Amino acid sequence: MKEQFKPLFESFTLRSGIHLKNRVVLAPMTNFSSNPDGTVTDDEIKYYIRRSSGVGMVITACTYVTANGKGFPGEFGADTDEMIPSLRRLATAIKEQGAKAVLQIFHGGRACPPELVPNGDIVSASDVAMNQEGAKAPRPLTDSEVESIVKAFGETTRRAIEAGFDGVEIHGANGYLIQQFFSPHTNRRTDRWGGSVEQRLSFPLAVVKEVKKAVALHAKEPFIVGYRFSPEEEETPGITMAETLVLVDALADQELDYLHVSLMDFWSKPRRGVEDTRSRIEIIKERAGDRVPVIGVGSIHTAADAAKALSVVPLVALGRELIVEPDWVEKVEQGRESEIATTLTKDDQQRLVIPDPLWQAIINTPGWFPVVESSSK
C-alpha cells in the first residue's frame, strides 16, 4: 500500500478497551429490507457479510427501541426479547468477517410514518409537524411516556449484549426523536424535558445514562457505547453551532467510546452560532479534545479523501462508498486504490449483493447514488 494511506490501517483502541483493526468504519445506512415482523432477512445478512471484512467496525442500520419508534418500512426491530435471535444472526454475521458489530438504536419520533406505528399514534417532544405536505402533527409525550422510552433504550442495549453485539450507537442525529428533544424547533415543552439548552439536553443525557447502566448491569466483557448527532439545523429557531458545542461538551463528559458526527460533507462550514471559518468537524474535534474520539463521515470517496480526513479525526466512516465498492478497504490495503469503483449500473445488484428494497431505492432516487449506463472504474 502507498505510504500516505498507512494511517488508515493503524489499529485503534476505544475507551472500553475494544480494539479496532483499522480506522475505517461502515456508516449506518437504512436498507428497507427486513421482514414485516421486524426480523432480519437472509438478503440483509448477505449484504452485511459482503461489506464487513475490510472495515474495523460496522455500525448497523438503525433499529427501533419501541413499536411506536419504527421510522422506515423494512426496518428491523429490537423492541422485544423475541427479536434477540434475529439480532444474534446479524451480530454473528458481521463479527465472523472480522469487524466489530455495533447496533444503532433509535426512535423516529415525529418522523415515523403513521402506517408503521400502532394506531398511527405519532409522538414527539411537542406537537410540531414535519415540514412536509400532509404531515401529521405528533402528539407530545407525557412525562411517564418519556421515562418509558428512556428505559426502552436501556432494554434494547441489554438485547444487543445478549445477541452478541460489540456495542450500540445511540442515534441522536438526522432529526429523529433524540434530536427532536434537543432542538428548540421541535421541543417547545415547559416541563423538565424542555426550555433552556441545558434542559433540552435532559432526554439525550437520560438515554446515555440508561444505556450505560444497562452495560454496567449486563455486559460481561467490554462493550462500546457511541453517540451520533447532527451539528446544527436549518430552521429558526433550531440547533445552532453554539448549541451543538454545548451538546458536545455534555457528551464528552459521559465517558463514551466515540462521538459520530453526521454530515453530508465532512468539510462543511457552520451556518451560524460561531465566528469561525473552520469546518464543523474541526471545531467539534477541538471541543471534544482528548475526552472522546470523533468519527467523521460525509462525501469521503477516495483513499486520499479518507487520509485527509484522518488528519482531523481518528476514525472515518464510509457509507455509499461501501455500497458501490464493497472491497474499498481491501483495494487500498493492496495498493489497488485506482481500481475502486465510483459508479454503479442497473446491472450491478447481484454483483454488489444489495437487497431488492434498497436496490429499488438506489435506482429510483435520482442523485442519491452515481448510477451510470455502463460500468467504469
Q: Is residue 370 part of a domain?
A: no
Q: What is the DSSP string of 220-252?
A: SS--EEEEEE----SSSSS--HHHHHHHHHHHH
Report residue 302's pLDDT band, with 50, 70 and 90 as the boundaries.
very high
* Neighbour tally for 133: CB within 10 Å: 5
The whole-number pLDDT of residue 376 equals 52
pLDDT score of 274 more than 70: yes
Q: Is residue 351 part of a domain?
A: yes
Looking at residue 322, which CATH number applies to its domain? 3.20.20.70
Distance, CA of 353 to CA of 370 (rounded, Å): 17
Q: Is residue 83 part of a domain?
A: yes
Q: Is residue 96 part of a domain?
A: yes
pLDDT score of 377 more than 60: no
* Neighbour tally for 258: CB within 10 Å: 27
The total number of residues written for the chain in this structure: 377
Report residue 373's pLDDT band, with 50, 70 and 90 as the boundaries.
confident
SS3 content of the chain, % helix, strand, coil (to 5): 40, 15, 45
In the chain, the number of structural domains is: 1
Q: At what angle do helices 280-288 and 241-252 cross, to 10 degrees?
A: 30
Exposure string of 80-104, with b = 16+ CB inside 10 Å and e = fewer, is eeebbebbbbbbebbbebebbbbbb
Q: Is residue 376 part of a domain?
A: no
Our answer to whether residue 176 is catalytic in this structure is yes
Q: Is residue 70 part of a domain?
A: yes
Instruction: Give the β-pairing of 167-172 and 19-20.
Output: unpaired
Q: What is residue 77's DSSP assignment?
A: B
Domain that holds residue 174: 3-364
Of 47, 64, 176, 258, the active-site residue reads 176
Q: Is residue 272 part of a domain?
A: yes
Which residues lie closer than 8 Å to 123 by C-beta, 6 or more apart? 68, 109, 110, 138, 139, 140, 141, 145
User: What end-to-end distance do the CA atoms of the chain give, in Å?
Assistant: 19
What mean pLDDT is reported for the chain?
Answer: 97
